Amino acid sequence: MFSGLSLVGSAQADSDSKATSLPRAVDIYSQEQLIDMIRDKSYLIRVKGDKCQLVQDIEARAEVLKQPLYQYLWAEMLSHGICVKANPPRGISMLRDAAEQGSAEAMVRIAEYYHDGKFVIQDRQRAVQYVLPAAASGDLPARMMLVKLFGEGYGSPRDYEMGYHWLYNDVFSDEATKQEAVKLLKVLAAKMPPSAVERARQEHLRSQ
């Protein structure tokens, strides 16, 4: 059940497939692959592209082994009806389980849902509550999301300086992400006293 390869038969391939042979066996995704797919939001496309061969493996790792990244993936498949019947209540519940295990990726995703009001009633203050622990742990997407929410006026103004400090002093792997961070910081800076912005830009944040 938990082998490295899934050899699910052609019954799980797309119904309109004209192939006469079994689909190519697909390797189960590594933790590193999952992180990359989550970061670039390609995970659902990948699961469909692999012709749903890994559904049983993904479900087992999420429901039985309770691996957070697979809980995230399985949750998204359930919420959006990818390779399985759509079940958003179960999907969001599974995403919360992953967040409770400390998955920064799950925290950010739930925050996005509360920010946009998708599957749940829009509540951007709750989005801040979900994403703040992930930002504190050093997760860059979480810090971007937190500063975005602060810039929109959500969360406590007492935390703006801390959020600004985290993102301003982070390290970026690509120019596009850095430029997006600059834009978010500019919006947040407009809501902060100049002295607070100056403190937040220091390498080590000091209390007033």
Task: Confirm if 151 and 188 have CB atoms less than 8 A apart.
Answer: yes
Cα separation values, 30 from 5, 35, 56, 173, Å: 12, 9, 16, 21
Confidence category of residue 203, pLDDT binned at 50, 70, 90 = confident
- pLDDT tens-digit map of 144-153: 999 999 999 9
* Out of 24-28, 58-62, 101-105, 189-193, least confident range: 24-28
- Looking at the predicted structure, is the pLDDT value of residue 7 above 90? no
Task: Confirm if 134 and 142 have CB atoms less than 8 A apart.
Answer: yes
DSSP string, 7-59: ---GGGS-TT----SPPPPEEPPPHHHHHHHHHTT-HHHHHHHTTTTTHHHHH
**Could you give the CA distance from residue 82 to residue 99 in angstroms, rounded to a whole number?**
21
Radius of gyration of the CA atoms of the chain, in A: 20
- Looking at the predicted structure, is the pLDDT value of residue 15 above 50? no
- Looking at the predicted structure, is the pLDDT value of residue 40 above 70? yes
- In the chain the first and final C-alpha atoms are separated, in Å, by 56
Burial of 196 (0-12, 13-18, 19+ CB in 10 A): middle
**Could you give the CA distance from residue 12 to residue 49 in angstroms, rounded to a whole number?**
12
Which alpha helices (H) appear in the chain, and where do they start and end?
31-39, 43-49, 55-59, 68-80, 88-100, 104-116, 124-136, 140-151, 160-168, 175-189, 194-200
